[in-house]
Amino acid sequence: MVPNRFENGYGLTPEIAEAAAAAGAHLLLTVDNGIASMAGVARAAALGLDVIVTDHHLPAEETPDCIIVNPNQQGCGFPSKNLAGVGVIFYVLTALRAEMRRRGRFSDGLTEPNLADLLDLVALGTVADVVPLDHNNRILVSQGLKRMRAGKMRPGIRALFDAARRDWRKAQPFDMGFALGPRINAAGRLDDMSVGIACLLADNDAAAQTLAAQLNDLNIERREIEQSMLNDALTGFPETLPFGQTTLTIYRDDFHQGVVGIVAGRLKDRFHRPTIVFAPADNGEVRGSGRSIPKLHLRDALDLVAKRHPDLILKFGGHAMAAGLTIHGNDVARFQTAFEETVRGLLDEDDLTQTYLTDGSLPAGDITLERAQHLSAHVWGQGFAPPSFTDEFSVVRQQSMGAEGKHKKALLKKDGYEFEAMFWRCGENIPERIRTVYRPVANEWRDNIELQLYIDYWEAA
């Protein structure tokens, strides 16, 4: 079952339990949700269904009365706490296969599954869910990438590479996080997540290509909605926030529920403040999605708000850097005040200043395509960032790129060497001399490969 978030809400709800029972189910197994579904599990039990919750989100003090597999639940000794939901279910399947081996089930003519065949999905889900790439997750992603580069992937994943105009033979975590993942997620954000799942489950290239094209169209629509919402949210905003303001809480009647998380992330990146963006839901309620900064555990902060104001938050969940919640529509201003007061007591001024950790300066002669290619051969991602460097450059020339000129391409110069550089989401004019944080990237387009510098941060020098 693939619930529609706009009709059914998030997780295992009582309505989902009733639909499963009506369909003749006897067992409900959740993936990447359920740890906060007390009412849904209770309803399933009342209907005679067994429930197994597999999740990775942080549990509250109260958990559902059922079997729970979650590395972050109290008392769980599984050492890899950063698994994504797809990683949790992968290990559940691994344990199930081991138990079936022990019972001799595969000696009775039942074919033993090769779970390595699932690693393309595990890698994609791990990167797309932006969980930290600790030792275990890096292994899962690395093995999935190896299979993709060898062509051992599902038709749907191959079709998504084609739709995004990325080369699967040179698959990187970047492709999964910024090309494939957003296209799959666009289905759940705007329409019906079953389209994305159907694409991943497609057993032939023709069906996969058709579904990937639908996802690509949805992703284009998602980008347009996101930009419109972001422009609306920024209307009237100063370039810098008032001194002492530690959070952002934004609500508009016409915001799209499926895109609030992305907009929250964009605002968080721009202002370096914990941000919650709300959109209308049903029955006079509003649902919000939040993104945080490194020094604030967002789910714990919301838990503190809920304890101080017991009637304010109807439900919430999440983890350190992202969370979701539901409140009454007429409580937005009240929540804004409570959230600001709570976070102000948890952060100091230094926490609100964005810090970049770099590997220092590179001699201009060492900023080469070969070095960029060497770096790109490794698995980088959330919690295991690629090396970045800091240097001063002269700006030889610059030009706007992309829709509405929101990106910049520039020619930079240092010690007689010239470098092409990309400034993402940079609409303003770049001064003649800048200090930067950058990453050397081997940029590939069709049959060409060239060195580019991706600028993560810049300021006038």
**Each residue of 167-183: pLDDT tens digit?**
999 999 999 999 999 99
In a domain, 6, yes or no: no
- Among candidate residues 162, 194, 223, the one where a domain is terminated: 223
Q: Is 444 in a helix, a strand, or coil?
A: strand
Asked if 158 and 256 sit in the same domain, the reply is no
Euclidean distance between CA atoms 260 and 251, whole angstroms:
9
Asked if 300 and 433 sit in the same domain, the reply is no
pLDDT at residue 267, rounded to an integer: 95
Asked if 68 and 133 sit in the same domain, the reply is yes
pLDDT band, residue 282 (cuts 50/70/90): confident
| Residue 222 CB neighbours (<10 A) | 23
pLDDT band, residue 10 (cuts 50/70/90): confident
The residue ranking higher by pLDDT, 405 or 273, is 273
Decide if 422 contacts 455 (C-beta within 8 A): yes
In a domain, 244, yes or no: yes
Q: What is the CATH number of the domain that holds 436?
A: 2.40.50.460
pLDDT at residue 241, rounded to an integer: 80
The mean per-residue pLDDT over the stretch 42-54 comes to 98
In a domain, 26, yes or no: yes
Percent of the chain with pLDDT over 90: 85
In a domain, 359, yes or no: no
Q: Domain total for the chain?
A: 3
pLDDT at residue 244, rounded to an integer: 83
In a domain, 299, yes or no: yes
Decide if 386 contacts 174 (C-beta within 8 A): no
Give residue 405's identity as a one-letter amino acid code: G
Asked if 175 and 215 sit in the same domain, the reply is yes
In a domain, 358, yes or no: no
pLDDT at residue 191, rounded to an integer: 79
The mean per-residue pLDDT over the stretch 129-142 comes to 95
pLDDT band, residue 109 (cuts 50/70/90): confident
Q: Which two tokens stand for residue 137?
A: 């997750």
Asked if 310 and 455 sit in the same domain, the reply is no
Q: What is the CATH number of the domain that holds 113?
A: 3.90.1640.30
In a domain, 331, yes or no: yes
Q: Which domain holds residue 251?
A: 237-352
In a domain, 3, yes or no: no
Asked if 54 and 157 sit in the same domain, the reply is yes
pTM of the model: 0.88
pLDDT at residue 317, rounded to an integer: 87
Closest-CA residue to 115 (of 92, 135, 134, 131)? 92
- Among candidate residues 352, 374, 396, the one where a domain is terminated: 352
pLDDT at residue 124, rounded to an integer: 98
pLDDT at residue 11, rounded to an integer: 85
How high does pLDDT run on average in the chain?
A: 94
Asked if 292 and 266 sit in the same domain, the reply is yes
155-163 and 181-190 helices, crossing angle to 10°:
90
pLDDT of 446 > 90? The answer is no
The mean per-residue pLDDT over the stretch 94-99 comes to 97
Asked if 318 and 189 sit in the same domain, the reply is no
Asked if 148 and 248 sit in the same domain, the reply is no
Asked if 50 and 142 sit in the same domain, the reply is yes
Burial annotation 427-446 (CB, 10 A radius, 16+ → b, else e) = eeebeeebebbbbbbbbeee
Asked if 88 and 173 sit in the same domain, the reply is yes
pLDDT of 8 > 80? The answer is no
* DSSP-derived secondary structure letter, 456: E
The model's pLDDT over 212-240, given as tens digits with 9 standing for 90+, comes to 999 999 999 999 999 999 999 998 777 77
Asked if 118 and 243 sit in the same domain, the reply is no
Q: What is the CATH number of the domain that holds 269?
A: 3.10.310.30
Q: Is 27 in a helix, a strand, or coil?
A: strand
Euclidean distance between CA atoms 1 and 18, whole angstroms:
12
Parallel/antiparallel/unpaired status of strands 417-423 and 448-460: parallel
